[in-house]
Amino acid sequence: MRLAPLIAAAVLSGCSMAPKYVQPDLPVPASWPVGDAYLAQSEAALPVLSYRDVFVDPRLAQVIDQGLANNRDLRIAAANIAATRAQYRIQLANQLPQIGLGAGGTRFDNGSANQNRNQNIDIGNNPAASRSNAGNRYTADVSTTAFEVDLFGRLQSLSDAALNRYFATEAAARATRLTLIGDIADAWLTYAADSSLLRLAEDTAANAREQVKLTRLRLDGGIAPRTDLRQAEQILATAEADIAQQTTLLAQDANALQLLVGAPVDVALLPQSIADARDAVTTLPAGLDSTILLRRPDVMQAEFDLRAANAEIGAARAALFPRISLTGLAGLASNALSTLFTGAAFNYSVGANVQYSLFAGGAAQAGVAQTQAQRDAAIAGYEGAIQAAFRDVADALARRGTITEQLRANGNFVDAAADSFRLTDMRYRGGLDSFLTSLDAQRSLYTAQRTLLNTQLVEASNRVTLYRSLGGEAVTNPAQ
């Protein structure tokens, strides 16, 4: 077929001038840190887990599902994926010839009849004179214009770069999804803790009111000084202020959760206390070594950016060589529609164009140097992302290794403070101790209870942090 040269050029694949991609060595230790702050059973990474395996409370799972369906950041991420996918398809299309079809018909008359009339020629007796410069012309053709033969892999390198940018955008979307899941879980747990703190403040205020009432009666009976009443009123005022603050925080927690979810959250899905919510997040089991960090979406994004930068070096190197383009036209042309598809009406043309810049002030060489520098920056960014991920996990494991002991100590503190308050209150009522001692014991108990509730929140949130810092659910690397 006469179009064979164009077809052969279209399928011709050039060599790539991109350097071979070599994944940088992991810039962190092969295992998690060990020592007094770390639990032996947590000195490794997670196996593959779904968020439903970690967040086992059906209420929390339903809120997370609602957030994954409605959150606006995820919608933005999805739109970014669609845009980069389309950009890759645009770049890939440049490797193929653009073939166009055309057809047309033309009626022409160059004014010969008017010229003959001016020369007093009898057109009726000489019809050939009027028809010699007038008539119809019909065409049908297929063409390709300026198709670049990718001998040096420039277009292929650009396509590889666009493909890896697309993969990086997908990884960024997964990072957004992982962050959203963790943020929703943290907000849900914070709501639970603030609910407990509000209830504690209300209970403390109720006890303080009884103390104020009793102390006023003792003052009226002449067996207690006014200072006792004022000190009791201080405890009440502190608790009432905490009630106002916790009420505000609880409303703000609900607002934050609604923003993350992207829709109103059913009150029935909210926890009533931190004790009610602590078991919503399971304790994470041990797994493999620190290479599991390579599945973290932000690390994957950094690696795809590095791969794209590596491919762009190939495109810059190929720009140092001549660029060959082909054009072609094959079609049919006839003055009569009835003879348009006959062999005599066929015609074609093929052309080639070679472009090579003899002097451009070193721009092409500078382009190679620029892409190499961008590749070096991408390597540093990739290694930095892994190091940051390693620290995130190490910090979470350090907290996991000590939080149980802290919870035990805080629980013992609450037990001791509660017993101390009970004893000092009995001594005060029996006239064996001052009211100030009883009030100090009450303040100590209130502070200890708040501390325990906050520590319980830290313990539950640490499980979320460990899930998030290890990358959450594993995904298949599209580059493999």
The helix/strand/coil state of 17 is coil
pLDDT band for 202, please (50, 70, 90 cuts): very high
Distances (CA, A) of 281 to 101, 278, 354, 382, 470: 62, 7, 65, 31, 15
The helix/strand/coil state of 352 is strand
What is residue 217's predicted lDDT score, i.e. its pLDDT?
Answer: 84
What is residue 247's predicted lDDT score, i.e. its pLDDT?
Answer: 96
Tokens coding 142: 């297929």
Q: What is the pLDDT of residues 62-75, one digit of tens each?
A: 999 999 999 888 88
- Nearest 5°: the CA angle 243, 61, 280 is 60
What is residue 244's predicted lDDT score, i.e. its pLDDT?
Answer: 96
Comparing 298 with 354, which gets the higher pLDDT?
A: 298
User: What does the pLDDT average to over 172-188?
Assistant: 92
d(CA 201, CA 244): 9
Beta bridge partners of 148: 325
Which one-letter amino acid corresponds to residue 165? Answer: R
Does the pLDDT of residue 231 top 70, yes or no?
yes
> Which part of the chain is CATH 1.20.1600.10?
14-95+152-320+363-469
User: What does the pLDDT average to over 358-365?
Assistant: 72
Provide the H-helix boundaries in 34-147. Answer: 51-54, 58-70, 72-93, 112-118, 127-131
d(CA 53, CA 473): 10
What is residue 337's predicted lDDT score, i.e. its pLDDT?
Answer: 58
Tokens coding 278: 């602590």
Q: What is the pLDDT of residues 117-157, one digit of tens each?
A: 444 444 444 444 444 566 777 676 676 666 676 667 777 88
Comparing 100 with 241, which gets the higher pLDDT?
A: 241
> Which part of the chain is CATH 2.20.200.10?
97-149+322-355
- Given a contact cutoff of 8 angstroms between Cβ atoms, the answer to whether 292 and 472 are in contact is no
Question: Which residue has tokens 């297929």?
Answer: 142
Does the pLDDT of residue 10 top 60, yes or no?
no
Class of domain 14-95+152-320+363-469: mainly alpha
What's the pTM value of the predicted model, to 2 decimals? 0.76
pLDDT band for 30, please (50, 70, 90 cuts): low
What is residue 89's predicted lDDT score, i.e. its pLDDT?
Answer: 80
What is residue 265's predicted lDDT score, i.e. its pLDDT?
Answer: 94
User: What does the pLDDT average to over 94-100?
Assistant: 72
Does the pLDDT of residue 362 top 80, yes or no?
no
d(CA 171, CA 175): 6
Comparing 289 with 94, which gets the higher pLDDT?
A: 94
User: What does the pLDDT average to over 332-347?
Assistant: 60
- Given a contact cutoff of 8 angstroms between Cβ atoms, the answer to whether 280 and 55 are in contact is yes
Class of domain 97-149+322-355: mainly beta
For the chain, percent of residues with pLDDT exceeding 70: 71
d(CA 308, CA 105): 48
Q: Tell the burial category of 151 from Cβ atoms under 10 Å away from its Cβ (0-12, 13-18, 19+).
A: middle
What is residue 5's predicted lDDT score, i.e. its pLDDT?
Answer: 44
Nearest to 316 by CA among 379, 364, 373: 364
What is residue 376's predicted lDDT score, i.e. its pLDDT?
Answer: 87
Distances (CA, A) of 100 to 106, 140, 347, 391, 458: 20, 11, 16, 56, 65
Comparing 197 with 140, which gets the higher pLDDT?
A: 197
Least confident of 35-49, 78-92, 439-453, 460-474: 35-49
Question: Which residue has tokens 């409303």?
Answer: 251
- Given a contact cutoff of 8 angstroms between Cβ atoms, the answer to whether 200 and 249 are in contact is no
